[in-house]
Every structure is written in C-alpha cells, then in structure tokens.
Structure 1
C-alpha cells in the first residue's frame, strides 16, 4: 500500500517510528512500547490491540531502520509474533519505505503473516481478517496524512469519522422510517435504495480519513516502485524472529 503525503521525511519518520506517536494514528494498535535492548541491537517492542473493552490481544516484535540510505530513502523492517491464544496472527514480517518525491513523500508498506487455528484460521483470514487489516492499514495511512498535512490530530479525525458515519446511518434509517409512511411502497423502496447508495458511495469530507485515498497494488508491482526494492528484504534478513 502507498500514500502520498505532503510533508517532510523527518516528520513522517518520527510519527511512524516513535511508539507514543505511532499508536495515536494506527487503528491496528492500542499500545506500542519499546522493550529494553543493548546498544547496537535491533529494537524489540511489545504491541497490543484492544478487541473488546476487557479483552486485549498482544504480541512482541523486533525492528530495525535505515535512516541514511545512498538514494535518499529510508527503510524500516520488522518481524512480529503473538503467543496469545486469541490472536489469529502467529507470526509475520513487514516493512515501511519512505521515498522523497519533490516537496512530498511516498510512504509505502508491505507485510505478510502466518495465521493460526489451522484450516479454520486460514478461511477466517482470507475472507474476513485480511481484508479488514488491509482496510485498517489504508484508513490509518490517510489518518496520518491528515495529521501531517493539515494538522488534524488523530483524535480529531476519529471524531470526524464517527460523526460522518452517524450522519450517513441516520439518513438511511430516517428515510426507511419516514418515506414508507408518506409514499407508495415502490417509491419508498427506490428512495431507500437511493439514499443507501449515496451513503455508501459519496466520498468522505476532506477532514475525514478514507481508505480509498490509499493506493493499493499487487506485491510484485509495489516492489518495483519503492526505489531500491531489495532494501526491505536485506534489512529483514538481519532480524531474528521475535
């Protein structure tokens, strides 16, 4: 996945690499904490996702970054795993690429993981969890873009998203409740379908994060557009599984 951010490289790097800033915009994580490590070693970390108010799924990982590459780009690679019995993800790996593009930045990511729970887990992953993770990644990338470009904090952009969802839902439910009372059945059905289509298809406001603003492409095409495509792989090779 990729998004174009009109912001400086250092700003995007800090907001995506420092745990206290990263966890503010990334919908996939509720907590990210660095773990103690010796100088010169890759950085170990703990992550957690609050699934329900009283249920948190956590895991650990290890990451390394290259801030000063000869081509002017930066790369961050990580491996992660979870021993939590309710975590669908057993282990995985991924990378982030930061590619200067004039006065802006191309921010890219690629990741993959191995699910648990056997055949059932693979089915859940393919049809539900992986598409949901892809959407959450893209939505979060746009949330980061709004923070960097417009100064809209992640907390405010979440409120905007919830408010817009409420308005769209209320429009559909209101139409479904009122129109059948004052119009023939056929007209009511058409009206409800039209309002529902509008609620689903109309673009979000400029201050609301949207996954559709994030460019998605197959892995082989993404590798060919990120500058030195071998950089993430080379960096991953230096990391032991978490």
Structure 2
C-alpha cells in the first residue's frame, strides 16, 4: 500500500523569531498543536547536540499515548531560512505510530514567513494497521496538522491564544450540529414520518391552502432537511445565521397567528424558534477567526514521484 507523506504549508504574517519561538518552545508548542498534549525537553550538555524530548497525547477514555523524539535545528543565514528535523516514536502497543520523522522549514516571504512541514511514519498491526492508517488515521492526522497550523497563524497574526480559539471552535461546532439536528429532525419526524401528530392539523387550522396541506407539509419537510444540510456545508458564512433568524421568526409568527392557543403548550413554535435563534447567534459569533485546514497547502509544488520514492526509502531505513 503506497503511502504519501503528510505535507502542510501556510503563510503567516509574522517575523521569523516569533514563529521560531512559538514552534521551538515546548510550553508554546503544546498550546497550538493538536497532535501533542505535553512536550518535555530533556537536559543536554551542548546546544549543538540533538534535543531529545518526551511527548504525551491524550486520546480518549483516560488513555494517553507517550513517546520519545529527537529534534535538531539548523539556521541558514544566507537566505534567512531555518529548518528543524525531527524523529519520533512510541513503544506503546496502543500507538498506531511505531516510529517516524520529518522536518519543519521556515522560509521568509515578504513581511511574513512560509511555515511548512513534511513527515511520515511507520505503523503497527501489519496490513490492518496500514489499511486503517490509509483510510482514516492519516487523513485525520493531516487535517489536525493543517488545522493546528492555522490556529498558530491566528495566534501570531491576531494575538488570540489557542485556548480561546479552541473554546470558540467547540462552541461553534456544537451550535452548528444542534441547528443541523433540529432542522433535519423537524423535517423528518413531524412532517414526513408523523404528519398526523399535529403539523398537518396546524396547517389545516390556518385554512390558507385549500386542501393541499399534505403536499405542502411534504415540501416543507424536504426544505427543512435541505436547509439543515446546507447549514452544515456553509457554517462558516455568517449570513447563513441571519437568514435563519428571519426564517425562524416568520415560521413562529405564522404558526401562532393561526393557532394562538399553542402558546399554552409546553413545547410550542415560540420556544423552539427562540432556542434555535440562540444557537444561530452563538454560531454566528463563534465563526470569527475560526481555524480552517483548507487555508493550508497540502501538496508541495515541487514534489515529483522520484522525490516521494526517495522519501519512502529514507523512512524505511529509520
């Protein structure tokens, strides 16, 4: 199974020293990189020697992946470029990654810096491990790297700490998933599966549709499901939430004008609409400065098949 190394590149509007400090200082590095929960440098006698370190990654259910690594920095004063090479590995059997290596490269670009990485690793569990890595783990690991790089960019360009960015991201995605769930649920359950539970009677009570309430209810169900899926796709566009707020207000008003006695019900259009409007406001606010993996370049322009074969040969010797 031919694996491709993970590559991520991003332009950051910052100076070289700031970027170097935020990526080479363990206390700063572990704040923005989703791949590591803790990084600890081990003592060394000479700064020219490789830097050995311990790392820990929290996964789930109280489990941690621990491992060791070695990094060495090189500064090329002529062009202002810097490079940091890395090898890492874990002896834990629960770690899919057995050992790997790669580099970080820092290249001046205008008033900023192009920050790039390429790395690869060997897996455990034989063909099953390689298949799982190719189908799920490697794409997610690459996505986490790119998302982390953009979170670092936000920290350096807009001075928003990663902890704040993570809180916004959790709030945003939770609000979006709740909106998607509520729109799809309202489209599927009370309109398509069980219209006789009350939605059909509500439309009939309005008396506006001349006996075509069933067809209209079907169209409304399909429209709400489509809207839920559209929100999932366009969740970063803030106009989506203003549109929803207007639509929710109109739907609630129409329902309560036709049957005002519904206000006495424990669950009614007003309470549902207000709750969804609240999620819209949260999702709209938290969409600001949200990291995006697709801001990063995922393939180097200079890569050739020969380069990839050479990379795999070097990794197989580690």
Q: TM-score of the superposition, structure 2-length normalised?
A: 0.67
Can you list the C-alpha shifts for 1:105-147, whole angstroms capped at 9, x where unaligned? 1110100111111010001100010000000000000000000
Give the match for residue 188 of structure 1.
221
**Counterpart secondary structure, 2:224:** helix
Structure 2 unaligned segments of length 5 or more: list them.
1-7, 191-198, 200-215, 238-286
Native 8 Å contact 2:176 2:235 kept in 1: no
The answer to whether structure 1 residue 166 and structure 2 residue 174 are counterparts is yes
Give the match for residue 46 of structure 1.
54
Task: Trace 1:76-155 onto structure 2 (pairs within 5 A).
Answer: 76-155=84-163
Greater C-alpha Rg: 2
| Residue range with higher mean Cα deviation, 67-76 or 171-180 | 171-180
Alpha-carbon RMSD across the aligned residues, in angstroms, is 2.3
- Rounded Cα–Cα distance in structure 1 between residues aligned with 2:14 and 2:175: 31
Task: Trace 1:208-227 onto structure 2 (pairs within 5 A).
Answer: 208-218=290-300, 221-222=301-302
The answer to whether structure 1 residue 197 and structure 2 residue 230 are counterparts is yes
| Residue range with higher mean Cα deviation, 30-39 or 120-129 | 30-39
Higher helix content, 1 or 2:
2
Superposed displacement of residue 207, structure 1: 1.2
The answer to whether structure 1 residue 8 and structure 2 residue 8 are counterparts is no
Give the match for residue 59 of structure 1.
67
- Rounded Cα–Cα distance in structure 2 between residues aligned with 1:206 and 1:222: 34
Native 8 Å contact 2:180 2:231 kept in 1: no
- Rounded Cα–Cα distance in structure 1 between residues aligned with 2:38 and 2:61: 14
More RCO (CA 8 Å, sep 6+): 1
**Counterpart secondary structure, 1:38:** coil
Higher strand content, 1 or 2:
1
Structure 1 unaligned segments of length 5 or more: list them.
none
Aligned partner (choices 24, 27, 35) of residue 20 of structure 1: 27
**Counterpart secondary structure, 2:59:** strand
Can you list the C-alpha shifts for 1:148-192, whole angstroms capped at 9, x where unaligned? 000000000001111110121111112123345346234313321
Aligned partner (choices 23, 31, 36) of residue 43 of structure 2: 36
- Rounded Cα–Cα distance in structure 2 between residues aligned with 1:161 and 1:123: 30
Superposed displacement of residue 212, structure 1: 1.4
**Counterpart secondary structure, 1:64:** strand
Distance 1:78 1:54, change over 3 A: same
| Residue range with higher mean Cα deviation, 169-178 or 39-48 | 169-178
Superposed displacement of residue 41, structure 1: 1.4
**Counterpart secondary structure, 2:148:** helix
Q: TM-score of the superposition, structure 1-length normalised?
A: 0.87
